[in-house]
Amino acid sequence: MVAEAEARGLRIVFLGPPNSGKGTQAALLAEALGVPAISTGEMLRAAVAAGSALGARVKDVMARGELVSDELMAEVVRQRLSQDDVAGGCILDGYPRTVAQARTLEEILGPRGIDHVILVEAPEEVLIARALGRGREDDREEVVRERLRVYRDKTAPLEAYYEDRGLLRRIDGARSIDEVQAAIESVLGVRRVG
């Protein structure tokens, strides 16, 4: 468990290319800090499950196979971050994905904003090998390379945006899960107790 005083109220965004391990690390850190790890997919599914007007709009968009717009995603994020379980902090995985979404997140969170942005990085060949090692049908090399290209195109400006604000923490995601977890805790100044 992490020292409670250190964990209280942290708001952390996780960034990283596909197969970097960011989702795994976000979940591990959330568990250690005792805060919710909130993924974009989780937010969308929760909005639909709630049966609200917002959820119905999300469901319609997803049923058509379309991407959820920035405006609709902002509503989903705003609703999720207003829930009681995030009062003590949270970890966002998959949002924001663009500078425009980062600005929207700042508006939603207010003056304090976020505390840290963890960027889990690994060389492209490592990311491709991980994807191909899973053996999924849609994980062909050309598909994986295209996903990485899209990620670079959309997210590189976001990395610079957060780096300019002194929030970006780069982590070598090519190491073992335990080594990456230790590196993240180290850059956050979090120490394990007990």
* Residues involved in catalysis: 22, 97, 134, 136, 147
Q: How far apart are CA 192 and CA 52, in angstroms?
A: 40
Distances (CA, A) of 18 to 119, 139, 160, 186: 12, 11, 19, 23
Beta strands in the chain (DSSP E): 11-15, 37-39, 90-93, 116-121, 168-172
CA distances from 86 to 122, 148, 154 (A): 30, 31, 27
- N-to-C CA span, the chain: 6
Our CA angle for 189, 193, 194, nearest 5°, is: 165
- DSSP secondary structure letter of residue 2: B
Beta strand extents in 48-160 (DSSP E only): 90-93, 116-121
Instruction: Dihedral sign for Cα 85, 90, 96, 100, please.
Output: positive
